[in-house]
Structure 1
Amino acid sequence: MMLLGVENIARRSVKRAALYKFHRGHGAQARKVLQLLEKKYGRADPANLKLADTYACDVFGDSVYAPWLRVYTAFSRTFKEGWIPDNYYGSVVVPNMKGWYGKISNLKPVSRLILDGDTFPDVAYFANGLFFTDQCVVVPEHELKSVVFQHSDRVVFKTDGSKQGNGVYIFDKDTFDREAIKSLGNGVIQKFVVQHRLFNAFAAKSVATLRFTTVVDDAGRISVRACFLRLGRAEETHIRSDHEVCVPVNLATGELCGEGYLSDWGATPEHPDSKVRFAGVMVPAFAQCVATVLGLHRQIPFARCVGWDVTVDADSHVQVLEWNGEHNDVKFSEATQGPCFSDLNWERLRAAS
């Protein structure tokens, strides 16, 4: 019994240390963003920042949640009740509303097992030393190349847990190397999606993605709460979070907002490389995109908030590139479109001890 007690104390100590590091990292990131915002747009109203500080303590129970509320406030030039701080989302909402069911999204080869439909562009998987088809049939290594390039001249390999543009590798028939893939670890091989011409006009080399956030409320209803378009830069082969351009999308109409935002949160009315303007642009097949992510979330309602990376191909078909059932980004949506979750009572949740 004494040994068990010591082990429990050790676990709690490790958890507290990890949580301290988590909040410290978020605080540093948020303060840097706040500095960038105030450098670009001037000092935020101290009275509004004080409201953010008070709200963090009174509603969420700790001042560690104030930094992201301050960012939202500085960005919006006002304070809004109902905002969810990104570190509260990660440390409290994610464990309470997703748990192990959300972690499954990191295991890319199981997506098609869980989520029915042909919207994923998966063509093969590598897992634990074996290659598989998208139907989970083992592929002899000497046949892999013919399977992978059966319907596409280029493919993308994504490692398990890949995010923010890291762990993403593009191959064509000449550069494809199964030994290189094996050295990278478990993951999915997807056909390279030829994107819709509207997205091509912004940046032709990388595939634009729509980031949808869907939630399951306490009555089991599933809804879309936020959406923004992620665009790469002119010379990049895939979107990277440190260089991306993000443009909020009107959920009711599918129209891009008049301004997008660079990685330093600076506003721009046009893509910085192609100079194509955002105002008045309608996302192609937007209604089908919405229907797709809602339909998929109905199959995994146990993870109650999911981020979906979706694109529309050259034939106007919806393609789901990946899903994130863990700490999907909410800070950009909260700042630009939020409060997105104010009716869900997430502020009543508390961190597990």
Structure 2
Amino acid sequence: MFVNSPLRHLACAAARLAELTRFAQCGRAATGLVIGQSCLLVLTACGTISHERLLYRASGIQVGIVTDVSTDEQATPPVRNRHPANLTPQEIRTLLGSLEVSGWSGTLVGLFNTPQPRPVFTWAEMVELAEPLAAAFHEATPRERVFFTIQNHAAPYDGDRTSGKLFFRDDYLHIVLTDHYSLLQTDPGGGEKRDLRDTKGMKLWVVKPARAATVPEEKEPRWNAFEKVHISLRPVEVLAERRAPQAITDSSRPQVALPTAERPALKGDTAAMNATETLHDLRLQIRELTNANLDLRSQLKEQSGTIEKLQAEFEELRNEKNPGAREPSSTRKPSRK
């Protein structure tokens, strides 16, 4: 019994070593499987990373293109945006001018007061945004959106910005508003940054006679957690509503058969409409020139202040380098005659 004991111990040790070897091999295989799955997940996630491309930056306004992660080429039917889109700057201004936003500043104001809608964009901002947005829509692909950011010219160093995204899909223009500089952010205290989920109670509205579109559920974009403030338009309807009041007025009048000689009077109405549009364009150009003049004056004032500061610093440096330069003039005694 005692003679065979070492042999039994040796056999048990060999079996234990083989078991540990198999466990190590299985562990390496499991580790490799986990690493492979992790790499696959990382590669899959990389396909949905949002990439931005800035196309325009001037006067505190930025316009660019960003990847739309809500698109899906593998879906049936594929989910893609209707880009590139051809729009004129005038059409862009009309669409932007139909939007209003309501909300509140701080935390308690909205509990006691009813927020009143205000235009999302000022006239100067619409003028500045029209051409860059038209160019961005012309360059965007079916898997991209157009984004914009506007700083408050009255408070250029303030953290609040007017920002959002635009994209065409199917027959709709979808507008997402992520922030508006007229609505001050809530102060979290302690130097912390604003919570991205704080939407300031914002809500988008459409100015009459235009109307917000009701998007069917199957065509509704897949909004993420930070895209709570959005609205949809039918661009064809909104652009058509621009001349709708004139058509309604004409249709409400009693229809009287006019003689053939009086038919050309209708051309006068068309001429009057064209004159109105021309006057509108002239006013727009005047406002553009006025805003440009104000910007130039502001820049000139800043440059003048900078030059004065540089001159003062130069004088101080020259006096420090030659401390006795002014002494003769200040200590010189009057000559006696």
Do both share a fold (TM > 0.5)?
no
TM-score for the superposition, normalised by structure 1? 0.22
Structure with greater helix percent = 2
Q: Which has the higher strand share?
A: 1
The TM-score with structure 2 as length reference comes to 0.22
